Amino acid sequence: MPEVPSFDPEMNGIKETTLYLSGFYKLYARRLESEIKKETIPNHIAVILDGNRRWAKKALAASERGHMRGADAVENLLDWCEELDIKIITLYVLSTENLDRKDNELEYLFQLIHQRLEKLYNDPRIHKNKMRVKAIGRTELLPDAINDVLKRLDDATRDYDRHYLNIAIAYGGQNELVDAIKKIGAKIKQGELEVDKIDKSTIEENLYTAHLPQSAPDLILRTSGEQRLSGFLLWQSAYSELIFLDILWPEFRKIDLMRAIRIFQKRNRRVGR
C-alpha cells in the first residue's frame, strides 16, 4: 500500500486524491501483472470491440469521437498483448450487418479503418515481431482503399508465424460457415473430396481462420456489458472461455485485460471432457 501523501497547501484536495489513486493503481497493476505471468497466459485472445457509440453518448460527444477513441484503444491493446506475449489476437471490428447502415457514420468508419490500417502497415513492429496480419470476412464488400491496404498487409506478412493479428471485418459467423460449405461443396463437385471423408478438420480447413496454428480462441472478451457473441467465431468458440465486461471499449485499460486473464486462469477448462 503506497504511503498516503501529506497535505500540500499548494495542491487542492482533488489533485492530491488523484495522485494517491494513481499511485495505488500503478502498484495494483504491477502486482496483478506479476501474478498472471506466473500462470498460463492464453495463447489466443479474441475481442468484441463494443461500446464506442454508447461512450460517445455518455460523453456528450459525436459518435465519430467514440470510434476514434475506440481505435486508440485497439492500438493500446496490441501493445499490451505484445508485453504479455499473447501469440494470436482476433478483433471483431465490423460485421456484415454494420455494412447495411449506409450513412455518414459508416463512411467515417471506413475512413478511420483505412487510416489505422495504413498506420499498422508502416509500423516496423509487425516485422520485428514476425506478426502475420490477415483480414477475415467478406472483404469484397469493403471499399477498394481498405482492400488495397489489407492486401499489402497480407502480402508483407504472409511468411510470418510468430504472432498473428486477425481483423474480422465485414465478418459474420453464419456467413463464414456458408462460405466454408461452398468451398467443401466445390471440392466434392470437382472430385477432390468424398462426402464420407468430411469431418471436423475438413470444416476447420475451410474456415477464414484456417491459416492459424490455433483457430479456437482460449478467451473471448466482450466489452459494454452485452452478453452474447453476435455471430462471432461461431465454430471456433465452441470451448472458448467467455468473459463479459461492463466497461465500454474506449475506456478499456490494460488492467481490464489483465483481470480478464486472471478470471480465465481461475476457471477449470475441461474442453468438453
CATH code (residue 98): 3.40.1180.10
50 has catalytic annotation: yes
Mean pLDDT of 33-62: 95
Structural domain includes residue 245: yes
Structural domain includes residue 198: yes
Q: Which residue has the cell 487510416?
A: 115
The pLDDT of residue 24: 81
Structural domain includes residue 218: yes
**Contact predicate 209/136, CB 8 Å:** yes
Structural domain includes residue 174: yes
Residue among 50, 206, 218, 256 flagged as catalytic? 50
Residue among 43, 76, 98, 147 flagged as catalytic? 98
Structural domain includes residue 249: yes
Q: How confident is the model at residue 19 (pLDDT cuts 50, 70, 90)?
A: low
Q: Which tens digits make up the pLDDT trace of 73-103?
A: 999 999 999 999 999 999 999 999 999 887 8
Structural domain includes residue 184: yes
Structural domain includes residue 81: yes
**Contact predicate 47/89, CB 8 Å:** yes
Mean pLDDT of 43-69: 94
122 has catalytic annotation: no
Our count of domains for the chain comes to 1
The mean-pLDDT minimum among 12-16, 35-39, 167-171, 229-233 falls in 12-16
The mean-pLDDT minimum among 18-32, 133-147, 203-217 falls in 18-32
In whole angstroms, how large is the CA radius of gyration of the chain? 21
Identify the residue with better confidence: 20 or 164.
Answer: 164
CA atoms 254, 255, 260, 266: torsion sign: positive
The pLDDT of residue 9: 37
Strand order in the sheet with 88-95: 131-136, 163-171, 88-95, 44-48, 219-222, 241-244
In which domain, by residue range, is 223 found?
A: 41-265
The mean-pLDDT minimum among 17-31, 41-55, 202-216, 244-258 falls in 17-31
Structural domain includes residue 29: no
Mean pLDDT of 47-75: 94
The pLDDT of residue 187: 97
The pLDDT of residue 272: 62
